[in-house]
Structure 1
Amino acid sequence: MSAVGNSPRWLAVEALSKIKNGAYSNLQLNQLINQHHMDRRDINLLTNMVYGVIQHRLTLEYWLTPFVRHPNQIDPWVRELLLSALYQWQYLDKIPKRAVFNETIEIAKVKGHPGIRRFVTGVLHQMDRTGLPDFDAIEDPDERLSITYSMPIWLIDELRQQLGADKMQSIIASLNQPAKQSLRVNPAVSDVADVTAALTNDGLTVEPSEISPLGLVVTDGQAINSEAMQYGMFTIQDESAQLVVPTMALAPGDQVLDACAAPGGKTTQIAAALDTDAGGQVTALDIHASKVRLIGQNAARMHVADRVNATELDARKATAEFGEAAFDKILVDAPCSGLGLIRRKPEIRYEKALQDSLNLQKVQLSILSAVAPTLKKGGIMTYSTCTILQQENQQVIQKFLAAHPDFECLKTTTDRNLKADRDDLTLSIYPDDYLSDGFFIACLRKK
């Protein structure tokens, strides 16, 4: 294979073809980065191209369509090659068009046959000559928004109905910005100042999170490869996700149930607030043995394994397993559509439909109802999701409270008093609020 076969552009086309067939973008990227020895610049270009093409896929396909007469007759990888060329040309201003076109044609030549090289060359030159189609030519306003921001029309429509046109547009525009690299300091072994110093000494640029007291945002460098990460001084976690555990008002001796715990980010955060001398313990559930092992590994790395009991169990069987009134606090970080994570997992936007949220609502309610008896009177059950639709958030809480009059909703508060002037008792963090993940948190007390 020629040198072009190891280039970030070649690998991006390989990754995009597999992701289009159902592979996860983050796993696919990690696999390629581990298999090929690349410097940081090449890793950055590969990551940027893969996420960029997925993020802007509807836009890129709109631009490509007029130049491909028989779309069903071209190989899927050739399509991904042309979309990635378009992405670089239109969105990456530091790469000259000549370099983009030359390497795209070179990949077509090496990976394909002479006919493919001629086809790719012809499409690129025709685009250059005639220019790309304008969004203003799209008459339907929702379709125009969908193509401009590469968002499905159903999601645009649903967000507009729930939050209004301005907030909807602000959210969908923000979701194409790059995700922040954020981490949560582990108070079991370290503090914000020590982690900041350790990462700065490693040449990273770090700043404090504006929304989480234990949060740091890395603006330059890769924290995941640092010694401080290996030692468990911190874990990679979005700023919004860090807000959930502090709302539980944990006491050092609490018995806590983490009902949907894998991979254990919030489990270790709970455990760091507990004290074994006071009898504090978190029971962390997942239905898959492999994920239970992952929780255990995370707990060990974060030096809190003595406070974590990782258990393979469906949360809906909790009462049969643990009996009634077994726990002081419960966290239900429920399985959800993940629409608040579109920045990190851009393919989610094309894979989900409104029906998914309605189906998940039933699962979420069943978990809440199943674990509710295991909570002591006066105890708090925190419900959280990483989605932004009311079907999985406010509606779940309303339906749960209607069926369980022995529970009441408390106002969700955060250390930094986020959105303190809101009317809702629950807390919704939208992706455009702080450029963190979309999240929902509700605190329910058993009367």
Structure 2
Amino acid sequence: MKKNARQIALEVLNDIFGNDAYANISLDRHLRDNVIEEIDKPFITALVYGVVSKKDLLEWYSRPFLKKAPKPWVQMLLNMTIYQIQFMDKVPTSAAVDEAVKIAKIQDGQSTANFVNAVMRSFMRSEHKDEEPKTWEIKYSMPKLLLDKMVKQFGGKRTGAILESLETPSHVSLRVIDKTVEIAGTRPSELTETAVIADSGNFAAKQDFLAGKYTIQDESSQLVAPQLELQGDEIVLDACAAPGGKTTHMASYLTTGHITALDLYDHKLKLIEDNAQRQGLADKITTEKMDATEIYENFGAEKFDRILVDAPCSGVGLIRRKPDIRYRKESSDFSNLHDIQLKILDSASKSLKKNGIMVYSTCTIFDEENFDVIKAFLASHEDFEQVTISHEKNDIITDGCIFLTPEMYHTDGFFVAKFRKN
């Protein structure tokens, strides 16, 4: 039997929260494996990401009308229905409730359908639907661990601005490769001349994307490659390269130079290769399957003119685009990542030539993965000095590094530091 859009959205949500699936991977698989009208795909996507980003708030809305906790999939169905009512203006309330009742009946019979109907009718009649929770933890569905870390680092005012910013959907950011191409519906980036942005649009389906005239890459990520100061003939190492956005950006500066791009997984190396092929840069990039903590063991001393360490990190700067990240963090993750980041930098540093440049970047906003890492690296590597980065937007520079939080320019949260080997 063909499933409707809401049934598919519910399956994806149950996969994310029941099987610990990644939202983007589960969503892509369900959209690919089901027969779905093109018009329904944006609705399913918006519903899934909306419910994921507001899960705790949605459960808070339904809690007063539940005598005991329902089955997880029923709670998710209630979350999904409340999200449509509260946050999707174009969806009629009656349609959201009726469809939920039908799904409940198909899944588990009339008694579950009656239960869902009763909860939703009670919710609609109550004043609770117009109330606002008193804690940020519930209002923004932000786990206490991350919230406490934000408040400790940024203070209450800036944390509030970051959280409010994450309520607004991402815009689309493109890196323009062919300067002659005109991309309808876009406007120039404030942060880099290589980028244009749009409020929405499926740019990956357009012919100019497939022809390699532009690629999808966040503005913040596009600030990395210029810091390598590539002249064209350098031998470059991209230590943690997948999916290849920064790799191909660096390759676009090369003439006779070459990039070796590393990753641990075959399927991720293929993403780099596909990206390079589409952009006509395959001859400038070689991929290798390797653990980035073993760069020196594999390549030996002073082999590269430039090294990019786009390090494994908590990814907290990506929460706007990947809202399920917030539910995957434990306090031990941050200290483990700090150690791995330093190991990669240490190994990479030995394979950098004298006077070479190494750039360290992350997509996180927390100091222990950013400023604390570069301080620890410099303290134990006297042959390296930090190179101060400058930018016409002064507010994105902190202590000589690029440091962007999501509310500043509506980008990902991002960090870039630069070193030179003496």
Select the residue among 88, 94, 100 that pairs with 1:104: 100
Deviation, structure 1 residue 422: 4.6
Q: Residues 146 and 156 of structure 1 are in contact (CA less than 8 Å); yes or no, is this contact kept in structure 2?
A: yes
Select the residue among 362, 373, 380 that pairs with 1:385: 362
Deviation, structure 1 residue 423: 5.0
Amino acid at match of 1:289: D
Select the residue among 227, 230, 242 that pairs with 1:247: 227
Select the residue among 137, 146, 157 that pairs with 1:146: 137
Greater Cα shift, 312-321 or 116-125: 312-321
- In structure 2, the residue corresponding to 1:396 is in which secondary structure? helix
Amino acid at match of 1:8: A
User: Which residue matches 1:90?
Assistant: 86
Tell me the TM-score normalised to structure 1 length.
0.90
2:3 paired with 1:6: yes
Greater Cα shift, 51-60 or 97-106: 97-106
User: Which residue matches 2:164?
Assistant: 173
Cα displacement string for residues 132-191 of structure 1 (whole angstroms, at most 9, x for unaligned residues)? 2676674xxxxx1111111112222211211121111111111121111212122xxx12
Q: Residues 240 and 263 of structure 2 are in contact (CA less than 8 Å); yes or no, is this contact kept in structure 1?
A: yes
Q: Residues 268 and 299 of structure 1 are in contact (CA less than 8 Å); yes or no, is this contact kept in structure 2?
A: yes
Deviation, structure 1 residue 257: 0.8
2:377 paired with 1:400: yes
Select the residue among 246, 251, 256 that pairs with 1:271: 251
Partner Cα separation in structure 2 for residue 283 and residue 383 of structure 1: 16
User: Which residue matches 1:121?
Assistant: 117
Which sections of structure 2, spanning at least 5 residues, go unmatched? none
Partner Cα separation in structure 2 for residue 155 and residue 327 of structure 1: 37
Deviation, structure 1 residue 238: 1.1
2:321 paired with 1:344: yes
User: Which residue matches 1:54?
Assistant: 52
User: Which residue matches 1:307?
Assistant: 284
Q: Residues 186 and 198 of structure 2 are in contact (CA less than 8 Å); yes or no, is this contact kept in structure 1?
A: yes
Cα displacement string for residues 41-71 of structure 1 (whole angstroms, at most 9, x for unaligned residues)? 3212111110000101111111111211120
Q: Residues 172 and 201 of structure 2 are in contact (CA less than 8 Å); yes or no, is this contact kept in structure 1?
A: no
- In structure 2, the residue corresponding to 1:177 is in which secondary structure? coil
Cα displacement string for residues 349-373 of structure 1 (whole angstroms, at most 9, x for unaligned residues)? 1111232111100000000001101
Say what the alpha-carbon RMSD is for the aligned residues. 1.7
Select the residue among 168, 179, 185 that pairs with 2:176: 185
Deviation, structure 1 residue 317: 2.0
Partner Cα separation in structure 1 for residue 45 and residue 265 of structure 2: 30
Which sections of structure 1, spanning at least 5 residues, go unmatched? 139-143
Q: What is the aligned residue count?
A: 421
CA pair 381-264 structure 1, distance change in 2 beyond 3 A? same
Tell me the TM-score normalised to structure 2 length.
0.95
2:351 paired with 1:354: no
Q: Residues 325 and 376 of structure 1 are in contact (CA less than 8 Å); yes or no, is this contact kept in structure 2?
A: yes
Q: Residues 206 and 220 of structure 1 are in contact (CA less than 8 Å); yes or no, is this contact kept in structure 2?
A: no
Deviation, structure 1 residue 254: 0.8
User: Alignment identity in percent?
Assistant: 40
Partner Cα separation in structure 2 for residue 364 and residue 112 of structure 1: 48
Cα displacement string for residues 280-332 of structure 1 (whole angstroms, at most 9, x for unaligned residues)? 01111112233223322221111111111111122222223222111111100
Amino acid at match of 1:230: L
User: Which residue matches 1:23?
Assistant: 21
Partner Cα separation in structure 1 for residue 342 and residue 141 of structure 2: 32
CA pair 159-137 structure 1, distance change in 2 beyond 3 A? closer
Deviation, structure 1 residue 31: 1.7
- In structure 1, the residue corresponding to 2:186 is in which secondary structure? strand
CA pair 220-441 structure 1, distance change in 2 beyond 3 A? closer
CA pair 137-222 structure 1, distance change in 2 beyond 3 A? closer
CA pair 94-361 structure 1, distance change in 2 beyond 3 A? same
2:208 paired with 1:222: no
CA pair 367-220 structure 1, distance change in 2 beyond 3 A? closer
Q: Residues 411 and 443 of structure 1 are in contact (CA less than 8 Å); yes or no, is this contact kept in structure 2?
A: yes
2:407 paired with 1:432: yes
Partner Cα separation in structure 2 for residue 83 and residue 213 of structure 1: 41
Partner Cα separation in structure 2 for residue 421 and residue 344 of structure 1: 20
Deviation, structure 1 residue 8: 1.7
Deviation, structure 1 residue 421: 8.1
Partner Cα separation in structure 1 for residue 186 and residue 227 of structure 2: 26
